[in-house]
Structure 1
Amino acid sequence: MSQIDDRYLSDMLKQLLETPSPTGYTDEITRLCCRELERLNIGYEITRRGAIRALIRGGERQPGRAIIGHIDTLGAQVKGLKSNGRLEVRMIGHWSARFAEGARVKIFTIHNDAYRGTILPLKASGHTFGDEIDTQEVSWENLEIRVDVRAEDEKDLKAIGFDIGDMVAVEPQPEFFDNGFIVSRHLDDKGGVAAMFAAMKSIRESDVALPVDAYFLLSITEEIGQGASGILTKDVASLVAIDNGTVAPGQNSSEYGVTIAMGDQVGPFDYHLTQKLIRVCEENDIEFQRDLFRYYRSDSASAIESGEDVRTALVTFGIDSSHGYERTHIHSLHSVARLIRAYVCSEIEIPRDKDDLGDLSGFTEQPMNPHEDEKWEGQDDAPERPGDKS
């Protein structure tokens, strides 16, 4: 099978990062992804709002598999026009005002004009406010956008074309290093999407026969918790979300290899699908680790909450400083792409999943019997263990 093309993966990631896509302003990145799918000769459909459902046909329609990543990012909106000629701002998605301070942004007005600016704290100059620049509260209420236009008051802003609700995209400022590290805002989840495209390219170029249909889904509202709603088909039995895994104290994620999430704040992921992914890593010599996330949810949660009866799992690439100035390594993105490719090419292990409902025939099993040594512990009539001396 064709290998993962790391140059393509990096180039695709650059294109994704260069295309602003805060939740609610994703039309252009939808067009970018659809054009690339056409170039790869992969069929797709888009929903009314712009979520993408790409499909690589397999030998059977069911039980279909789906891989999902999201192309929307964190961002902001204009909350109000201020008397000092600046813009009041509120966040899109959940991210700290600490990481918003100093961010360069683009503001998109209803007149299709885009202006650049900077998110600043209300007290931004030490020459004016002294120590107060360090003691003011870190909050979105203490931020404003200084737009790079001549605007002295609210009237000037209105005349230029600014208004409440204007969308604000945070510029990613990406850096790609020769040692493989990548630093940028919005690697969540454009790194995962780039890995998905690299996997699709590898599958297409190898012309491998998939056992069942493989859907590659790109959602547009993950950052506000709605991503996978309304995009799955009834043929899909298993959904693997691709997203970031936080590298931080108390976590087991890494910027190298793949992290298999065992659970998040919503609860545990599907036992059988998760174990399947672990076996695929082991069988294909893909470096991996397991982790459990505390303050985290992904597109898999919105799929279940919207009523989909699918097995769910989460595969992550390691990110340091998630929802801030993020960093990952090409090794992790490459590993995720390898796992995606190997997974969709692997044989179906639960044929019963093709049916929505049924009896116990072919139903899955989970280990229940304790180890024999454990059964002997504390039992007066326990048999003598090999080698025991009375």
Structure 2
Amino acid sequence: MDYVRDVLVRMLRTPSPTGRTDEVMHLIGEELQQLGVDFYLTRLGSLVAEVRGEQARPDRAVVVHSDTIGCIVKRIRENGRLQVTPVGTFSARFAEGARVRVFTDDPDTTYTGTVLPLKASGHTFGDEVDVQRVAWEQVEVRIDEFVESPDETEALGIRAGDFVSLDANPVITPAGFVNSRHLDDKAGVAAALGAFKCVIDHELALPVNAHLLVTIAEEVGQGASHGLDADVAEMISVDNAVVAPGQYSRETGVNVAMKDEVGPFDYHLTRKLLRLCRELGIPAQRDVFNYYRSDIATALNSGAETRAALIGCGVDASHGHERTHLDGIRNVAELLVAYLQTPLMFAWDEERRGELADFPAQDAEAAIGEYR
């Protein structure tokens, strides 16, 4: 967990809004190099790593994403401040008050600033500050430079299309709570890296090869649309689980999603993961997410012929002022370590085609008994 904490904080302090993820992917790649894990990068920039097992194919994959929500400069306002548009889906309400960094085309030139509502001063606007609409057109970025016109801002090298990242400001409390923006999905990446480090450090025997796929555009829907080979028979996506009223997910345990807005996840694989949690004493909850899609959606929509499941540590106020707990990250990592040591669930899954008599039973009790 010392390693997990360290790599998590370093990733959180590395801006990576979708579309500007090179720096964080270098960080993750360097971690895998230190672990001695073979990997390559796809043309679009996703990372595919592999830890070899006793059987090369079919194999399995753990999928996480390194990109986060953020903003892009839409235009420079008449007062020299920036109108921005969101990258990914989140409310302008949760951008208000954020400290940000503005990245120009010059890699050595960045600027700091703050996202403010257009009516930010109560001393000037009085009660109007409380009734202003919540919308991206109602906020602006005040950069920390002497600018009062579009010309002065443009002279700094700031243009439409420049990326604006929201500072994460990670804080880990004595009680183990992790308060930070962008825990979606850097907490998941940290858990996966911790799990693969455990497998390697302890030389654990894996029955099949295990991939780690790190994607870079999940927040805008690209997800795991590429990078998985046709031999992947099982895929686990590790992402944030939604902690909110009406949800079962919790910050301290493993949360197994049974369904999101795309559809239910694999019947057998989700129940195998829940069974592993029961056998190992890992606290776990089942949950269903309404306004949610993960890397899995694009993988399956792109034709991946694989069983798929979604797990995560619970994140309170997701895409806002997020919080999770180190226990939740640890429990997800422990489940991954256990899962990677199990064979594929069914002999059926070792072949891409089979006979009806070999197909798994739908009955829950019978299916649980057949897991290997």
- What is the aligned counterpart of 2:216 among 200, 220, 242? 220
CA deviation vs aligned residue, 1:236-255 (integer Å, no higher than 9, x gap): 11111001111111110011
CA distance in 2, matches of 1:143, 1:89: 8
Cα displacement (A) at 1:359: 2.8
- What is the aligned counterpart of 2:290 among 275, 291, 294? 294
Does residue 9 of structure 1 match 2:4?
A: yes
Letter in 2 for 1:88: Q
Contact 2:277 2:283 in 1 (8 A): yes
- What is the aligned counterpart of 1:129 among 125, 129, 133? 125
- What is the aligned counterpart of 1:244 among 240, 247, 257? 240
Q: Who is 2:278 aligned against?
A: 282
Cα displacement (A) at 1:356: 2.4
What secondary structure is seen at the aligned counterpart in 2 of 1:210? Answer: coil
What secondary structure is seen at the aligned counterpart in 1 of 2:97? Answer: coil
CA distance in 1, matches of 2:318, 2:156: 35
Does residue 204 of structure 1 match 2:210?
A: no
Contact 1:350 1:362 in 2 (8 A): no
Letter in 1 for 2:215: S
Matches within 5 A, 1:224-373: 224-367=220-363
- What is the aligned counterpart of 1:195 among 191, 197, 201? 191
CA distance in 2, matches of 1:302, 1:177: 36
CA distance in 2, matches of 1:300, 1:158: 41
What secondary structure is seen at the aligned counterpart in 2 of 1:67? Answer: strand
- What is the aligned counterpart of 1:153 among 116, 141, 149? 149
Name stretches of at least 5 consecutive residues in structure 2 with no aligned partner: 367-372
Contact 2:176 2:325 in 1 (8 A): yes
CA distance in 2, matches of 1:356, 1:80: 51
Does residue 85 of structure 1 match 2:80?
A: yes
Name stretches of at least 5 consecutive residues in structure 1 with no aligned partner: 1-5, 371-390
**Residues 282 and 220 (structure 1 numbering): CA distance in 2 closer, same or farther, change over 3 Å?**
same
CA distance in 2, matches of 1:124, 1:263: 40
Cα displacement (A) at 1:257: 1.3
Q: Who is 2:35 aligned against?
A: 40
Contact 1:63 1:351 in 2 (8 A): no
What secondary structure is seen at the aligned counterpart in 1 of 2:175? Answer: coil
- What is the aligned counterpart of 2:46 among 46, 51, 58? 51
Q: CA RMSD in A?
A: 1.3
**What is the percentage of aligned positions where both structures have the same residue?**
49
Q: Who is 1:75 aligned against?
A: 70
Task: After superposing the two structures, state which structure 1 stretch, 33-42 or 43-52, moved more.
Answer: 43-52
TM-score (norm 1): 0.92
CA distance in 2, matches of 1:368, 1:348: 18
Q: Who is 1:164 aligned against?
A: 160
Q: Who is 1:96 aligned against?
A: 91
Contact 2:344 2:350 in 1 (8 A): no
What secondary structure is seen at the aligned counterpart in 2 of 1:267? Answer: coil
How many residue pairs get aligned? The number is: 365
